[in-house]
Amino acid sequence: MAGQVFLVQFVIVVLLVGAAVAAVVLQSARDALQEGKREAVVAAHTFANAPGVVQAFRSPDPTKVLQPKAEAARKRSGVDFVVALSTQGIRYTYPYPEEIGKKFVGTIQPALHGHTVVEQVGGPPLPAGKGTAVQAVVPVTDAHGTVVGLVSAGITVKNVSGLWMPQLPLILGAGAGTFVVATAGTTLVARRLRRQTRGLAPEELARLYKHHDAVLHSVREGVLITDADDRLLLANDEALRLLGLPPGAKGRPVRELDLPEPLTRLLASAGPVTDQVYRVEDRLLAVNKRPTVPDTGPDGSVVTLRDTTELAAVTGRAEVARERLTLLYEAGVRVGTTLDVLHTAEELAEVAVPQFAEAVTVDLLDSVLRGWEPTAEGWRHLRRAAITGDTRMIPVYPVGELITISPKGPQMRTLQQGRGVLEPDLRQAPDWQAQDPGRARKALECGLRSLVAVPLQARGMPLGVANFYRMAGSPAYGPEDLSFAEELAARAAVAIDNARRFTREHKMAVTLQRSLLPRGQPEQEALDVAWRYLPAEGRGVGGDWFDVIPLSCARVALVIGDVVGYGLHAAATMGRLRTAVHNFSTLDLPVDEVLGNLDDLVVRMDNEERPNGAAEGHEGEGVTGATCLYAIYDPVTGTCTMARAGHPGPLVVSPEGVVSSPEVPASAPLGLGGYPFETAQLRLAEGSQLVLYTDGLVENRSRDIDTGLADLRRALDGAGGRNPEEACRAVIDGLKPDHPCDDIALLVARTRLFPPSHVADWDVPSDPAMVPSVRAQCRERLCDWGLEETAFTTELVLSELVTNAIRYGAPPVRARLLYGRSLICEVADCSSTSPRLRRAATTDEGGRGMFLVAQFSQRWGTRYTPRGKVIWAEQALHGGAASGAGQRPVDALLEQFGEATL
């Protein structure tokens, strides 16, 4: 409606503006024409009566005299032309000289008789425009009244039309203002209409009324509306039925409707009423009353009537249904809070008591408890997993006992059929009594009466049986109870199956994890080592790992790390990293180079897991990183060199029991690529304990890392007199959470020092002639150690290493013997060249030195140092003799020479 009114107003404004413009144009044109005529007449008369004009007309050359005067008069008067004419109509003057002498266009006859002529006529081109709109012709007379010539003045159409243009903006502005006022008025009217109709269109209002009327008369609730005088204004069909009102009751006072007196008083009262029950004949009506317009005084009331006669019968069933729904909701919340099979079975038994049962037992297949896939072969043997309720007076199988169920009992039937079995009265259940007659008789004597046995099955495979019992004082189970028990068991079975599958995967992951971790301590004499590894609960095993790796020259490497993620993928990644660390350690690389190579490996593994930048959607998408701490302990010097890549720093317990945190620079975690790893060198006193750990030991959901580190320091405080095993036990007992959510790895190593008496070293001059003296010193020291049987082999190995260092290395050269579990020969020089083992040809004069070293040694190798390299060879000792002293290496050497050569 508002839009239509606005459209009409817009059309009216446009028409009014057009009419006003047309009227102004016409009026301006008319006024301009009259004004032009007047100006033309005035200009013509003024020029005609000017002094000297008559004499000019009678002069021999009128044009020469009149042309300047005519142009000057034209410019002063503002007309478009002033033309002097002869009595024959020939132009004496004109704005354009070429038009002079031509015939004048216009009427001149009346002017020749002394009259003034005003007319609209065209003419030759003029300065102000083409053609003449208005021109006046007047006579020029002498003193005797004789017409001696004519003068014409005129204004063009262009000058006339410009007179009405200044009024056009005013007209358009007035029209625009009118349009704005009309728009504002329409907007206000539209808003008022929207408020009054609540934004509804007329069609919507009509449809709303129809819907309102349809709903009002179709609801199963009576509706009455009364006015301020207690007259009935409206009553729907349900109200007429409930109150027995006649169809003509509308408009009558409520006191004339023959209603029960209490209900009449309520309808005539002014106060609100909420759910008051009144009897009308054989019905119980719940009545609610509210004013039609609250907070505005008496203005009628709305009364609703609800028949509650059948509500009492339905209320009992609804309450039972509500309790069952509440119990199902509690079961969804309480069952399956952990991924432990036994705990989930206990939660199922607890949630059903006492709302649904007075005693509950849960029996599961043995394979389910172990995490295996359930099979039908194990149905005869179930293990009691949970008992809840008043079972002290009832003889039931205890938790953990293996139960052999009867082939015809309700438990076997529910497993075979895949649905619940109802026994309303156990006194009439011979199959149940046949399971264990003695227990059954005692249970019946204690008051056990009703049973519902339902299968716990997931993915179509039964996992066990849940048994719900009621005593003699409770109602017996019915079909509705059976359906509810099946629903409850179905929800719990999913949780049990999830826990079973987690148990299986967790065991697999733990098995893999433990198989990849060290199983025993390697043979070494630098450290006393103990460790602990505890897998996480609930999230699967992680990637925590550690290792103790014997290195050359009695040194030992300690490694501990943590791979990001959980599950089999993390365990497998950990195994790859541990293998890589072993390989890098075999190369005798410095600690920072080991971590650098590990970093490159993790980057490559991450790229392999995510080809083309996208993972294939399996567990542990991408390695994403790992942390590691790598340390090398040298028992000869008592120094420990270490570096860490994003891993928590170590702790050191002095022999006196003082706990300290050495400053080991923290570098970026593995997998970021391109970052250097800084090293730190510590000097540890003999008997010091180096403690390495993963973050799962000091950090969890309930404890931040600072608190965990403080607890760890307290657990280690005073541990100087303990051995590593005791220190591990004290730390785990003090810091292990009840349910660890992350793997825990702990490594404690107590340092030893090589006895000075078992170390011999010499500075070797860079002269091959000094090799025999080195051999003599070696023989003398071996005799002091009681290793005379190894003297020949050791002298041979040492002389070859020293000779190579003198010939191919760089001074200074230094030799060293270490006597421990094995006999180690070391030769150090300042060259970075490394010897190679090769097989010399029969005609070669050299090239057999390193072959001899390799044959007489258990193992040998090269270790690079900041100042050069160290070539070492290790001989195993058995009863004081080197194992490599047999004839096999010599025979192998001699086989290279033929008989002719010998």
d(CA 150, CA 141): 9
pLDDT of residue 569: 78
Terminal Cα-to-Cα distance of the chain (whole angstroms): 128
Q: Are 108 and 89 in contact (CB under 8 A)?
A: yes
pLDDT of residue 158: 52
Position 550 confidence tier, pLDDT thresholds 50, 70, 90: very high
Q: Mind giving me the DSSP string for 727-789?
A: HHHHHHHHH--SS-SS-EEEEEEEE----GGGEEEEEE-S-GGGHHHHHHHHHHHHHHTT-GG
Position 780 confidence tier, pLDDT thresholds 50, 70, 90: confident
Which residues does residue 562 pair with via DSSP β-bridges, in sequence order?
544, 627
CA distances 666 to 358, 413, 544, 627, Å, are 60, 65, 19, 11
Among 320-329, 438-447, 620-629, 840-849, which is the least confidently predicted range?
A: 840-849
Average pLDDT score over residue span 205-233: 76
Among 233-247, 310-324, 524-538, which is the least confidently predicted range?
A: 310-324
Task: Look up residue 649 and give its two tokens.
Answer: 């720093």
Position 793 confidence tier, pLDDT thresholds 50, 70, 90: confident
Residue length of the chain: 902
| 724 or 207, higher pLDDT | 724
Task: Look up residue 380 and give its two tokens.
Answer: 């005869």
Report whether pLDDT(297) > 80: no
User: Which pLDDT tens digit goes with each residue over 359-417?
Assistant: 888 988 888 888 777 776 667 788 888 888 866 556 778 888 888 888 888 888 888 88
Q: Are 524 and 754 in contact (CB under 8 A)?
A: no
Average pLDDT score over residue span 194-202: 69
550 burial via Cβ count (<10 Å: 0-12, 13-18, 19+):
middle
User: Which pLDDT tens digit goes with each residue over 567-610?
Assistant: 777 778 888 888 899 999 888 889 999 999 999 998 888 887 66
pLDDT of residue 596: 92
pLDDT of residue 648: 92
Cis peptide before 662 (omega within 30 of 0): no
Q: Are 576 and 605 in contact (CB under 8 A)?
A: yes
Position 899 confidence tier, pLDDT thresholds 50, 70, 90: very low
Report whether pLDDT(901) > 50: no
831 burial via Cβ count (<10 Å: 0-12, 13-18, 19+):
middle
Among 117-126, 141-150, 731-740, 769-778, which is the least confidently predicted range?
A: 117-126
User: Which pLDDT tens digit goes with each residue over 664-705?
Assistant: 999 999 988 878 899 999 999 999 999 999 988 888 777 788
Q: Are 850 and 837 in contact (CB under 8 A)?
A: yes
Average pLDDT score over residue span 75-97: 86
pLDDT of residue 631: 96
pLDDT of residue 36: 77
Q: Are 126 and 132 in contact (CB under 8 A)?
A: yes
Position 557 confidence tier, pLDDT thresholds 50, 70, 90: very high
Report whether pLDDT(165) > 70: no
3-state secondary structure 230-255: CEEEEECHHHHHHHCCCHHHCCCEHH
Average pLDDT score over residue span 323-333: 79
- DSSP tag of 121: -
d(CA 272, CA 26): 75
Among 11-15, 442-446, 539-543, 637-641, which is the least confidently predicted range?
A: 539-543
Indicate the residue type of 110.
P
Position 751 confidence tier, pLDDT thresholds 50, 70, 90: very high
Average pLDDT score over residue span 657-663: 91
The pTM score is 0.54
| 286 or 641, higher pLDDT | 641
pLDDT of residue 272: 83
pLDDT of residue 841: 54
CA distances 552 to 65, 485, 588, Å, are 136, 68, 8
Cis peptide before 354 (omega within 30 of 0): yes
Mean pLDDT (the chain) is 80
Any residues with CB less than 8 A from the CB of 417 and at least 6 apart, and which?
455
What stretch of H or E contains 222? strand 222-226
Q: Coil, helix or strand for 168?
A: helix
User: Which pLDDT tens digit goes with each residue over 124-145?
Assistant: 666 655 555 788 888 988 888 8
